[in-house]
Amino acid sequence: ATTTMQAYRASLLHFHADPAFNDDAHAWHEDGLLLIEDGRVKAAGDYAKLACMLPDGVTPVDYRGMVITPGFIDTHLHFPQTDMIASPSPGLLPWLETYTFPTERRFEDPAHARSTAEFFLDELLRCGTTTAVVYCTVHPQSVDAFFEVSEARNLRMVAGKVLMDRHCPDFLRDVEGGVGDSAALIEKWHKRGRQLYAITPRFAPTSTDAQLHATGELAAAYPDTFIQTHVSENKDECKWVGELHPQARSYLDVYERFGLMRPRALFGHCIWLDDDDFARMAHTGSAAAVCPTSNLFLGSGLFDFERADRAGALLSLGTDVGAGTSFSMLQTMNEAYKVARLKGSYLKAERMFYLATLGAARAMGLEGTIGSFAPGAEADFIVLDPKATPLMARRTAQLASLEELLFALALLGDDRSIKATYSNGKQVHAR
Ligand code: GUN
Ligand code: ZN
């Protein structure tokens, strides 16, 4: 069989450990070469060392002056909420009632779901996000539409049907088949090409105990699927869950009692968790998806990075579009940094890039597949332009360290900083 080799020359950055716990967490090759064979990473290192591996006739694409990193991974967002991003509301619960539910109703229509999925995936790729963990709506056809569009582009995506059978409008309520529909969607889509399924109970208040119980059984029957839900986002929501589940020790404990904490379970927000909750996150191998633009937008609260790190919980970053205000993981880092400052802690830029790449892959149990340039990893990568705007060019003309470069990219960068996006070795966006 013939193989196809591609090569890219640029500065290379990727991670093999968490910078919060390890002084030697990253690999940085100022003049680097990334070698791709058949859509997978063959080697990543110094140009001077690897140039000899270039086969005759393969000329590296010259991205000198740019930084190549693994594609960003966004572990929490809602594709049906694309059209309602930046909708004003005083907090989570009125926002759901006023904007979210009516918007999600439209995904009953497969044509609307398809065209929205196309736009949504374009936007992710423009922002350098190559993998996302995505909520669809309660309609199974919204999941088919999303995966059909993602599969046609051969993207590594995770998505699932929202499960919801109470405290929601009738037009979005699972009547009986919610969990059965989810099982059929798992059989159809999980591990088909690069598509992966996430069992998706919206959040505790919108499922009956019967639905949560059946959802836990489904998660046990398909242990290599993902689980995604929301937890402890908003104080009114937490109070409500306390009233609905007086026997539970905490909001998070509701999920644990129904068998919904395990590896590959991703919990959005995690703002009001206590030390015991974070210990359960770490113990069960569950992961937090931290969503700062959303939490600041809705006034939900400030994620406590130090508390989470004390417990050693798995962490990742999510945009949470449409409550999140940007599809850009760089903008998400910017807000995460400021949230950490307000909580008296400090996030290094290096850590934020880790959380958006290898950290997320670890949170998802996909280390070695995405999120780094380990040999054999899927060639999902991005080309970052540190001089994308006049201001960025001016700022990055004088840098004392790699940390300063990454910090400038995180604080000033957005979709304009993404020169190109590659998925499985193929260019899927360029500007
Ligand atoms: N909690 C339950 N549903 C949602 C949602 O769609 N967005 C956010 N941010 N929180 C939720
Ligand atoms: Zn969300």
User: Is the pLDDT at 3 greater than 90, yes or no?
Assistant: no
Tell me the pLDDT tens digit for each residue of 150-190. Answer: 999 999 999 999 999 999 999 999 998 899 999 999 999 99
Kindly give the pairing relationship between strand 157-160 and strand 129-135. parallel
| Cα angle: 158, vertex 326, 134; to 5 degrees | 15
Q: Is residue 357 part of a domain?
A: no
Residue 1 has pLDDT above 70, yes or no: no
- Same structural domain for residues 35 and 183? no
355 found inside a domain: no
Within a domain: 157: yes
Domain extent for 24 = 5-70+372-430
How far is CA 219 from each of CA 191, 199, 255, 266, rounded to the nearest angstrom? 15, 7, 12, 13
226 CA to centre of ligand 1 in angstroms: 18
In testing the pocket of ligand 1, which one of 76, 100, 254, 319 has its CB within 8 Å of the most ligand atoms? 100
362 inside domain: no
Would you say residue 358 lies in a domain?
no
DSSP state of 377: -
How many angstroms is it from 330 CA to the middle of ligand 2?
18
CATH of the domain at 384: 2.30.40.10
With beta carbons less than 8 A apart as the criterion, state whether 262 and 219 touch: yes
- Does residue 153 share a domain with residue 32? no
Among candidate residues 313, 347, 381, the one where a domain is terminated: 347
- Residue located nearest, by CA, to atom 3 of ligand 1: 202
Residue 366 is assigned to a structural domain of this protein: no
Consecutive H or E run containing 343: none
Based on the fold, state whether residues 157 and 292 are members of the same structural domain. Answer: yes
Shared domain for 186 and 320, answered yes or no, is yes
Distance 318 CA to ligand 2 centre (A): 9
Query: Do 115 and 99 fall into the same domain?
Result: yes
One domain for residues 127 and 259:
yes
**Strand pairing report for 426-430 and 418-423:** antiparallel
CATH number at residue 100: 3.20.20.140
85 shares a domain with 45: no
Question: For 255-307, what is each residue's pLDDT tens digit?
Answer: 999 999 999 999 999 999 999 999 999 999 999 999 999 999 999 999 999 99
Indicate whether 23 belongs to any domain: yes
Tell me if 385 CB under 6 Å of ligand 1: no
- Which one of 78, 137, 240, 291 would you pick to mutate in the ligand 1 pocket, going by the greatest count of ligand atoms within 8 A of its CB? 78
Per residue in 309-349, pLDDT (tens digit) is 999 999 999 999 999 999 999 999 999 999 999 999 999 99
Interval 8-27 mean pLDDT: 98
Residue 171 lies in a domain: yes
Q: Are residues 146 and 191 in the same domain?
A: yes
User: Distance between CA 260 and CA 15 in Å, rounded?
Assistant: 30
Backbone angles phi, psi at 185, to 5 degrees: -70, -35
Q: Is 100 in the pocket of ligand 1 (CB under 6 A)?
A: yes
Do 203 and 95 share a structural domain?
A: yes
The verdict on 52 and 76 lying in the same domain is no
Both 212 and 313 in one domain: the answer is: yes
What domain count does the chain have?
A: 2
DSSP secondary structure string, 96-162?
IIIIIHHHHHGGGSHHHHHHHHHHHHHHHHHTTEEEEEEE--S-HHHHHHHHHHHHHTT--EEEEPE
Best probe residue, ligand 1, of 82, 136, 202 (max atoms within 8 Å of C-beta): 202
C-beta of 200 in contact with ligand 1 (< 6 A): no
> Which among 269, 243, 241 is positioned nearest to 255, based on CA atoms?
241
Residues 34 and 140 in one domain: no
Dist CA 203 CA 270 (whole Å) = 12
- 76 in contact with ligand 1, CB cutoff 6 A: no
